[in-house]
Amino acid sequence: MVTKIDLKKELKRFYAPSAAAIAVVNVPEFNFAMIDGYMEPSERPATSVAFQNAIAALSGVSFSLKSISKQRARNPVDYAVMALEALWWVDSGNFDFQASARWRWTLMVMQPKHITETMFARALLDARERAGIPGATRLRFGPFTEGLSIQTMHVGPYHEEPRTMARMKTFASENCFRYRGKHHEIYLGDPRRAKPEKLRTILRQPVEK
């Protein structure tokens, strides 16, 4: 019998924040499929071939893992593939939204805790063998921990994120938090299907007192 798990429900605290307030969360360690890259000069995420190829590779391996999990002989588990996430930074320091020519990124998809390195290796082999999934060779699997963070839901186009980021910065200052780590975005909407004003993106920032 296949066990079904609902990660979005289980992890609602981290993946369904309100847009009306800034929340303080302590994000535990999760396992992710990940791939690293940088934004080419004069490109944006929507136009960067490398960025789009990385999304395709992550999607391919994540759906392969879901299939492997559901079809395994012992303790099969079915689940919905989690949302695309991205860490953003620039080498010189904190993330600068306006400096896209210097952006570096790690794209990632969170994986259930029962997913193993062996299962990932099999899914990675499947992705590499499929035509049309360039970038699969750069995929990796491992833990990522953010710890104390602030987050909120940004509703609207990506280019309007600075207004929400400004709210977060003000909240951090008023509550004696200092930024650390990388700017984190979790994409709950699909820009190919949703209207820009309807897009929902979780903005998260690790902090310390």
pLDDT (tens digit, 0 to 9) for every residue of the chain, 209 residues total? 999 999 999 999 999 999 999 999 999 999 999 999 999 888 889 899 999 999 999 999 999 999 999 999 999 999 999 999 999 999 877 787 777 778 999 999 999 999 999 999 999 888 776 655 666 778 999 999 999 999 999 999 999 999 999 999 999 999 999 999 999 999 998 877 888 899 999 999 999 99
* Total tally of structural domains belonging to the chain: 1
Q: Residue 114: what are its φ and ψ, rounded to 5°?
A: -85, -5
Contact (Cβ atoms closer than 8 angstroms) between residue 77 and residue 3: yes
Residue 152 belongs to what domain range?
3-208
User: What span, in angstroms and rounded, lies between the C-alpha atoms of 185 and 188?
Assistant: 10
Q: How far apart are CA 131 and CA 127, in angstroms?
A: 8
